[in-house]
Amino acid sequence: MAIKQQKFDPIEDATFQVANKNRGWSQKAREGALKRLSTMGMPSRRDEYWKYTNPTELLTEKLSVSPVVGLEDANIFSELDALKIVFCDGVFNPDLSDDLAAENIIISRLEENGDLHWAKNYYGLLEEKAQRPVSRSLAALNTAIASDGALIHVKGKVEKPIQILGIRNNTAEAILHHVIKVEKDCSITLLESGPFAKRLNSVMEVFLDEGASLEHIRAQGRDHDRLAVTHVFADIKENAKFKSFTLSANGMLTRNECVLTLSGDECAAHVAGASVGDGKSFHHDDTVFITHDAVACESRQVFKKVLRNGATGVFQGKILVKEGAQKTDGYQISQSLLLDEDSQFLAKPELEIYADDVACSHGSTSGAIDEEALFYLCSRGISKNDAADMLTLAFLAEAVEEIENDKIADIIVEKISAWLSRRRN
């Protein structure tokens, strides 16, 4: 008798997982997320919010096991002295990680049982808030069934950068959910890199108290078969400062969403991204939603994409200035450098403004390398390849310059240069 092939239903799967495993303190939040998810449904190409990126591949049934990517390849920040938190196949690995005990900071993992945890009141909170005005079902799915994650509570000055590192061994899928809370006037540098899994669904919720600051630097690279959807949610209080930079190279489908709320006066949020893509299978999507809900806040979005051989780059960015959020300074730029005829750039840079004393600007451009600039450099004795690389790096510079730490910026530039030199004509 033939068994009827049932289509994989991620919601059904999540319902089963939530019902069959008690996750202690996070269970209630997970049930709530599942409920949201059931009403929202899964995204489809027909949704305006997924106009330029097809979510189908993020929703299909379990994938086959992918090739191993080891720790060395995953850790592009290896020359930095950082405190490593390593996830292998989507689960915390204590053997590969450093000792998590450090001054002024409490690090624990999501997959810890028990009924009490400081993160209980925070887990899933920003994800839930971010479901309006558009649903972000994949983030709700993450809250419901996340397998592990880092919970970081910063209570003072942290000397070393904290590094979340992912490697993959024998599983195709990882669902990670991190919660970071930075107390008043404290600060942290957070590094994130590694392939984690062939298909990654990652959520990071960041709570910045008054005067707190966080610098987040992320690298997505080397894993050419990557399917990733990531969400960074942040709530930024008075005088706090949030910075996030992402370098994306390669991969098949990457959707990085960043949802920030500036809820305290005079706070700042900067998000930047540099992505380099090669080949028809490369599809990279940056989706940013910044809400100004307080007076005299500053936000900055800088996204640069270098695309070649039929690669696709997407940018959807929105600045929402709520009524009363006067003296807002919002800036947004999205640019693409198309290195050949087949690549494409699709952008939707939006502004929604309900306050009259604001300065918001957005710009978006797309085009090829400037022939005149190329000619100028060549006439100075620089080879065409070097000149093209130089101009490409210069194009990406505005995004890379958002990184405050010079050492880290150098590493990023080095990686981009290497990527370019591997693709010389």
Q: Which positions touch another protein (CB under 8 A)?
A: 48, 323-324, 326, 336, 338-368
Give Cα 326 distance to the centre of its chain.
28
Least distance in Å: CB of 354 to another protein? 5
| C-alpha–C-alpha distance, residues 366 and 129, integer Å | 34
State whether residue 161 is helix, strand or coil: coil
CB of 337 to another protein, least distance (A): 8
In the complex, the smallest distance separating the C-beta of residue 18 from another protein, rounded to whole angstroms, is 33
Complex with another protein: residue 10 or 349, whichever CB lies closer: 349
Of residues 346 and 377, the one with the C-beta less far from another protein: 346
Residue 350 CB, nearest distance to another protein (Å)? Answer: 5
Phi, psi of 38 (to 5 degrees): -65, -40
Q: Would you tell me the crossing angle of helices 10-20 and 137-145 to the nearest 10 degrees?
A: 30
Count Cβ atoms below 10 Å from residue 195 Cβ, excluding itself: 26
Identity of the residue, 109 or 348, whose beta carbon is nearer to another protein in the bound complex: 348
Q: Where are the beta strands (DSSP E) in 168-311?
A: 173-182, 187-193, 199-208, 213-220, 227-236, 241-249, 253-262, 268-278, 283-292, 298-308
φ/ψ region of 139 (left if φ > 0, alpha if ψ in -120 to 50, else beta) reads: alpha
Pick 348 or 423: Cβ nearer another protein? 348
Query: Least distance in Å: CB of 351 to another protein?
Result: 4
CA gap 323, 61 in Å, rounded: 43
Q: How far is the CB of 402 from another protein (least distance, A)?
A: 19
CA–CA distance, 392 with 375 (Å, rounded to integer): 14
Nearer to another protein, 32 or 310 (CB): 310
Instruction: Return d(Cα 328, Cα 80) in angstroms, integer.
Output: 36
Nearer to another protein, 65 or 358 (CB): 358
Q: How far is the CB of 325 from another protein (least distance, A)?
A: 10
Pick the closer one to another protein by CB: 358 or 397.
Answer: 358
